[in-house]
Amino acid sequence: MKQNFLTWLAQETQSVWWHDSANIAEQEKAFSLGARGMTTNPFLVNQTLQTSPEEWKGVLSEDIATLSGDAKATSLIKSVTGYYAEKIAPLFAEGEFGSGYVCAQTNPNKSGDYAYMLEQAKLYASWYPNLVIKLPATNAGIRVFEECVALGFNVAASVSFTVPQVLAVAEARVRGKERALANGIKAGLSIAVLMVGRLDDYLRDVAHDQNSDISEADILLAGTACIKRAYTIFNERGYDTVLMPAGCRGAHHITSLAGAKMIMSISPKIQKALLEIEGPFEQKIDEAVDPKAIERLLSLKEFRKAYEPDGMSQEEFITFGSSNRTTDQFINGGWNPLLTL
């Protein structure tokens, strides 16, 4: 049988990819193609419960009808992510890099509430050993991230689009790991997400709004340029936080990173596009992004914020345009609908 891109990526490179969906049939297909873990968020949990309610009836907590508010949403997230955590636990038991994990995201309504997120993270960590707690890469979220590392939890910083965000996450990992080791605790898996496609989406609107002559071809390189720059810096500094490209909008977001020691979040739509690519396949992580395209993109202030390591302070992360857009989707398309499901 002719090899496809996804199985090639999983079998012949150091890259690992995770399935980005909570749909049962989609998950089974993805794992047959080489997926080793799963990313979910409130939007994806709500989506599968709304579109496939019969499949989840025997999985949901028996007392779900008695719950309300955040307790209800939390129970639904536990049921869905717990189903997958148990299903792929054998992969986790093998102990291989990036294998057998499932992500569960905290309440996006509380992206600036340190105390709330920390308590919710502790609750999530008590559910399953292979659960990865997803926090926002806001100032408060990164502070919680550090505490989670210190406690030995598996943790990912999401709602993240920029080089300064992932660098701040990596530094939080360093501090948290030092504290964990000092207390005899083994640090868990730490992931820094960079939502490459969502950054492109935002910059496209900024370019249009500012009547910029930056081309669509340049815009499509923005997220890739940022994550490749971050990857270089991570390797130079020896960070053991794992970068995760996510929010992809096309196959190019994955093919351009093939061969990187990353955990790639790939949705069913992007999986389909990757399966349509004809081989032979190449590792392209070391191919530089066109420097002239980067030079043109740097004329946009919002790209400079995303690309330069000191483009934003940690306190500014919550105000970045992509952060507001994505958080709103997770709230109004995910968490809040779960309250009335």
Angle between helices 139-150 and 163-182 (to 10 degrees): 30
| Tokens (6 digits) for 197 | 């496609």
Residue-wise burial string across 316-327, b where 16 or more C-beta atoms lie within 10 A, e elsewhere: bbbebbbbeebb
pLDDT at 63: 87
pLDDT at 204: 98
pLDDT at 3 over 90: no
Tell me the three-class secondary structure of the chain, residue by residue: CCCCHHHHHHHHCCCEEEEECCCHHHHHHHHHCCCCEEECCHHHHHHHHHHCHHHHCCCCCCCHHHCCHHHHHHHHHHHHHHHHHHHCHHHHHCCCCCCCEEEEECCHHHCCCHHHHHHHHHHHHCCCCCEEEEEECCHHHHHHHHHHHHCCCCEEEECCCCHHHHHHHHHHHHHHHHHHHHCCCCCCCEEEEEEHHHHHHHHHHHHHHCCCCCCHHHHHHHHHHHHHHHHHHHHHHCCCCEEEEECCCCCHHHHCCCCCCCEEEECHHHHHHHHCCCCCCCCCCCCCCCHHHHHHHCCCHHHHHHHCCCCCCHHHHHHCHHHHHHHHHHHHHHHHHHHCC
Mean pLDDT of the chain: 97
d(CA 339, CA 127): 21
Does residue 280 have a cis bond before it (omega within 30 degrees)? yes
How much is the average pLDDT of 331-335?
96
Q: What is the pLDDT of residues 184-216, one digit of tens each?
A: 999 999 999 999 999 999 999 999 999 999 999
> What residues have CB less than 8 Å from 197, skipping those under 6 apart?
223, 247, 248, 249, 250, 253
pLDDT at 339 over 70: yes
- What Rg value do the Cα atoms of the chain yield, rounded? 19
Q: What is the pLDDT of residues 240-295, one digit of tens each?
A: 999 999 999 999 999 999 999 999 999 999 999 999 999 899 999 999 999 999 99
Confidence of residue 1 (pLDDT cuts 50, 70, 90): low
Percent of the chain with pLDDT over 90: 97
Burial environment of residue 127 by CB neighbours within 10 A (0 to 12, 13 to 18, 19 or more)? middle
Please state the pTM of the whole predicted model: 0.97
How much is the average pLDDT of 68-76?
96
pLDDT at 2: 74
How much is the average pLDDT of 322-332?
96
pLDDT at 181: 98
Percent of the chain with pLDDT over 70: 100
pLDDT at 307: 98
Amino acid letter, 75 = S
pLDDT at 139 over 90: yes
CATH of domain 5-196+241-283+313-339: 3.20.20.70
Name the residue ranges covered by the structural domains of the chain: 5-196+241-283+313-339
pLDDT at 322: 96
pLDDT at 74 over 90: yes
The answer to which of 1-10, 254-263, 296-305 has the lowest mean pLDDT is: 1-10
pLDDT at 313 over 90: yes
Cβ atoms of 36 and 95 within 8 Å: the answer is no
How much is the average pLDDT of 45-51?
97
How much is the average pLDDT of 126-149?
98
pLDDT at 62: 85
How much is the average pLDDT of 19-45?
97
Burial environment of residue 173 by CB neighbours within 10 A (0 to 12, 13 to 18, 19 or more)? buried
